[in-house]
Chain A
Amino acid sequence: MSDRILVASKKGLFTIRRGREQRWAIERADFLGDHISLAAGDPRSGALFAAFQHGHFGAKLHRSTDGGLSWQETAKPEYPEKPKDEVDNDPMRGTPIPWSVERVWDIVAGTPRTPGLLWLGTIPGGLFRSRDGGDSWELVRSLWDLPERKRWVGGGADLPGLHSICVDPRDDDHVFVGVSCGGVWETTDGAKSWTVRTRGMIARYMPPEMQGDEIVQDDHRLAMCAAHPETIWAQHHNGIFRTTDGGRQWEEIFGAQPSTFGFPVVVHPREPDTAWFVPAFKDEKRIPLDGRLVVNRTRDGGRSFEQLRKGLPQVHAYDLTYRHGLDIDESGDCLAFGTTTGSLYVSNDGGEQWQCVSEHLPPIDCVRFA
């Protein structure tokens, strides 16, 4: 059971700690004034990572090897030189895709069998790999150089973004990545080759004849069940999808109220049928329905959903939870989510009851147990 949560926000990194009587509180604030887009921990080494999103100076990475007491700027992922004759244009606007990291959008550690192996996702869509615990990063060319990659477009940003990296706990060579808007991609050979895995997803924002196009799918976030890696949940722009056969087929899940729209999703680490979502009312409004903040939970694979509200504001609440704003710990009991209003909520009992840690943090991009 985790005792620490990292909260990456527009104006700093906050560390939340479980204290007496299971109450969570802000323990420290780092990098105040700086936009931290993502925070993550490497459970094998204990290292922590904080990704900066400087408005002027670009994306940077800082690492702590003493549990967050001190941080040092570390190597950042960098694209190689773009060949002068390379034609790589945004398919929507025809403008050149910059070969430069705009934003760090996920950091995930490999399994305990490969200490030092880390994966990192970015906007404009590049996947990077480190084999030395973050001392250096290399663009995964096998994915970046796919012809299909040039059909990816931005979803929620001007450029495509690789937002989710799911490592099969049984096999470091088996990884899924999710891209907005570029679908879900699988490698089974340690990133030597990739296969798109979005059959069954539907892009209703496209013309009818293109809605099943596997490359244009806008999965917002993926969550793989650690104990049953064949099951992956997806919060997609058009709703909720789930695969139980390792991505060969996705099934749309209906029935979640008040909405199947949202950004984040997490799955219980051992129970593949149990997942949580933070819905927002329809894709064009993106606020809680009727000002009532709710977390949706299913415990039967999506056949039914419960709306969890205890401890969450039910009057004039306009919180939106971004795709990295919800997390679950290794026990499956603790969840936490942070929102655009700077509110942070933690539950110790699977979402039945929520504690409000703060309503006054800066807008939150990412919440991660570490």
Chain B
Amino acid sequence: MARVSFTANLQRHVSCPPSEAPGATVREVLEALFAGNPRARGYVLDDQGGLRHHMLIFVDGVRLADRAALSDPVGERSEIHVMQALSGG
């Protein structure tokens, strides 16, 4: 399963420890994870389920391409980092 870790700054608002979740795309992995942590979803995704404007996601070191549908593929041992963009600071 892919492993997801979140920006440390998010922990101040909602608990989001590094976690593993199944899925073949970023969307599938995150929704599986947020199913067990629904409050965290709104901190990362906007009302339409797209990645928030000032958030970034890296999959195995590569920046997420599809910010709206999150369709980027994820491998069995992928590392997904959900981070803040400096533009939002």
Contact = CB atoms under 8 A, between A and B. Distances in A.
Interface residues of B, number: 19
B48 A100 contact: yes
Interface string A88-118: 0000000000111100000000000000000
Given A73-B39, A76-B42, A57 B10 contact: yes
- Majority SS of interface residues in chain A? loop
B7 to A, nearest CB: 8
Nearest to B50: A100
A78 interface: yes
A98 B46 contact: yes
Given A55-B54, A57-B43, A76-B42, A98 B48 contact: yes
Contact of A56 (B39, B47, B55): B55
Contacts of A209: none
B13 A100 contact: no
Contacts, number: 47
B48 A58 contact: no
Given A73-B39, A76-B42, A56 B52 contact: yes
Given A57-B55, A100-B48, 18 more contacts: A56-B9, A56-B52, A56-B88, A56-B89, A57-B44, A58-B42, A58-B43, A58-B46, A58-B52, A60-B42, A60-B43, A73-B13, A73-B39, A76-B42, A81-B48, A99-B47, A100-B50, A101-B47
Interface of A: 54-58, 60, 73, 76, 78-79, 81-82, 98-101
Interface of B: 7, 9-10, 13, 39, 42-44, 46-48, 50, 52, 54-55, 84-85, 88-89
8 contacts: A54-B13, A55-B54, A56-B7, A56-B9, A56-B52, A79-B48, A98-B48, A99-B48
